[in-house]
Chain A
């Protein structure tokens, strides 16, 4: 079992404050929380704000559950890049005697994993992942490609922490663009500025940064360097708590990674490129609570109006 990632004193204090005020609800497991009414009201409003912002592009709406076929995760080499963050679903298959033994061990909180077998499901680590095979299954892309509003699904990353901004399960509000390389790159550039405007308008002090993913191991360090050199990942960051600013939105240009894995082809016959934009809804909500105060009734009128709360 991985250790809990240490949190800074101000991160721990922020978590305590959110729990005390009922904005988050403790589950006993670091990084897994219930959400109180005010927290959800803000989180849903931010999601709705993104829906309105992307509406002029007439995206196709697709919603997926927080689990996805294991085969899809295997196809995109996720276990090579992020084995430390992945989580697969196991379930019981056995006899009645084994079920009894499993129950007895479980009631003593002992190890009952030997009765569990791997299923065909994994927890979804990024809200855009189910989109690519769904688009690929339709055959070649229509001219101009597609823009998908992938909703705000729960995603899972196995990184327990007492930093409230680093949850194991959180909502990623994702938009996806699939098409010709130049079109996809242009879309990402355009959204970079729009996302900064969108979040600044809520009173957050944000800035844009070139970033890299937390790839695993030595080979991961090389992937991260390569990702930075090619500027494939941008983030919008803001100060929440802790020594470093926190990313609240990220823009990822995958080049042909997902298109090649799932065989997404352009109408003209070439290989498509993909990019996604993800807003971390819980992080934005926490940043807003940190900036404007824990009582949302006292937030500045223009922020409340913009969020319709």
Chain B
């Protein structure tokens, strides 16, 4: 999953640094991701993983690092499995 998240961020995050050198807990906003770019990342994640982030998860912090994004996706999957 981390690999797929990295690929989506590379394509949509418009970072000012090379993502391959970025640790999973690095702050993506510090790495140059704008609010508008984070929306593109969010929509691409939804498309790729076939999920929909509920309003409560549409926060800045949910998309601030690869770790945070992975945690959000895992949470969504776990909730979907329970239903």
Contacts and interface: CB of A to CB of B under 8 A. Distances in A.
Interface of A: 77, 80-81, 218-219, 221-223, 225-227, 229-230, 255-257
Contact of B60 (A77, A230, A257): A230
A276 B59 CA distance: 25
Interface residues of B, number: 11
A225 B59 contact: yes
A221 B55 contact: yes
A222 B59 contact: yes
Given A222-B39, A226-B60, A257-B34, 16 more contacts: A80-B36, A81-B36, A218-B55, A218-B58, A221-B58, A222-B35, A222-B58, A222-B59, A223-B36, A225-B58, A225-B59, A226-B38, A229-B59, A230-B60, A256-B34, A257-B36
A56 to B, nearest CB: 34
The 5 closest A-B pairs by CB, nearest first: A222-B58, A219-B39, A226-B35, A226-B60, A229-B60
Given A77-B36, A80-B36, A225 B60 contact: yes
20 contacts: A81-B36, A218-B58, A219-B39, A219-B42, A219-B43, A221-B58, A222-B38, A222-B39, A222-B58, A223-B35, A223-B39, A225-B58, A225-B59, A225-B60, A226-B35, A227-B35, A229-B59, A255-B34, A256-B34, A257-B34
Interface of B: 34-36, 38-39, 42-43, 55, 58-60
A226 B38 CA distance: 10
Contacts of B38: 222, 226
Interface of A is mostly: helix
Nearest to A81: B36
A222 B42 contact: yes
Contacts of A229: 59-60
Contacts of B36: 77, 80-81, 223, 257
Nearest to B36: A77
Contacts of A221: 55, 58
